Homo-oligomer: A and B are copies of this chain.
């Protein structure tokens, strides 16, 4: 049965997935690139990178995924909805290569990009967005791509089967926090923590058998 997965979602020790303020110049606010440095060092990210533990975790981001769902804050800086020409951060060939659903209260027409990515814009609930994405993904899994608010909403709605967080050794103090409103995830998930030589700690949450929500 296809799964709903989160991969490579980086947070600070205090749980922030992005700093503030977020802008076109600083997509992650005062966090800068520090949350994601671990990934830049991997072969997954660039030729010549490490093929160690971080690469093994990172690579799964791309395996077996048939669609992505992301929040409006991942697709563009605050106010992108006012720019009819905004097509995301990623240039003409975005790294998704599947149908990609952007949750926004101001949907627009689909954007077909190079390399198999088509952005669809939805103003709907997590449950309904997931049903649409799963239909498009067929036998493959759906990735929840972030940001922190979107990941948190899907986890809170008990829709996520596999959650991979990467805790970077910094304290941001402010921004968008992954944990707010979540509690007792250890009841639903087996949680594993493993620190990497790069300094980050990989946290994986694997849904326990028998805890899946019964499909409606």
Q: Which A residues have a C-beta under 8 Å from some C-beta of B?
A: 13-15, 167, 169-174, 179, 181-186, 191-195, 199-201, 203
- B-side contacts of A170, CB under 8 Å: 184-186, 191
A169 touches B181 (CB 8 A): no
- B-side contacts of A179, CB under 8 Å: 13-15, 171, 173
The distance in angstroms between the C-alpha atoms of A172 and B184, with both chains bound, is 6
- Can you give 20 contacting A-B residue pairs, CB < 8 Å? A13-B203, A14-B179, A14-B182, A167-B193, A169-B191, A169-B192, A169-B203, A170-B184, A171-B183, A171-B185, A173-B181, A173-B182, A173-B184, A174-B183, A193-B195, A193-B200, A194-B195, A195-B195, A195-B201, A201-B201
A172 touches B167 (CB 8 A): no
Count of chain copies: 2
The distance in angstroms between the C-alpha atoms of A169 and B179, with both chains bound, is 13
Given A14-B179, A179-B14, A201-B201, A169:B195 Cβ within 8 A: no
B183 touches A169 (CB 8 A): no
- B-side contacts of A186, CB under 8 Å: 169-171
The distance in angstroms between the C-alpha atoms of A199 and B189, with both chains bound, is 14
A193 touches B199 (CB 8 A): yes
The distance in angstroms between the C-alpha atoms of A181 and B185, with both chains bound, is 25
A173 touches B169 (CB 8 A): no
CB distance from A184 to the nearest CB of B (A): 6
- B-side contacts of A13, CB under 8 Å: 15, 179, 185, 191, 203
The distance in angstroms between the C-alpha atoms of A108 and B171, with both chains bound, is 37
The distance in angstroms between the C-alpha atoms of A200 and B195, with both chains bound, is 10
A169 touches B193 (CB 8 A): yes
- B-side contacts of A172, CB under 8 Å: 183
The distance in angstroms between the C-alpha atoms of A181 and B174, with both chains bound, is 9
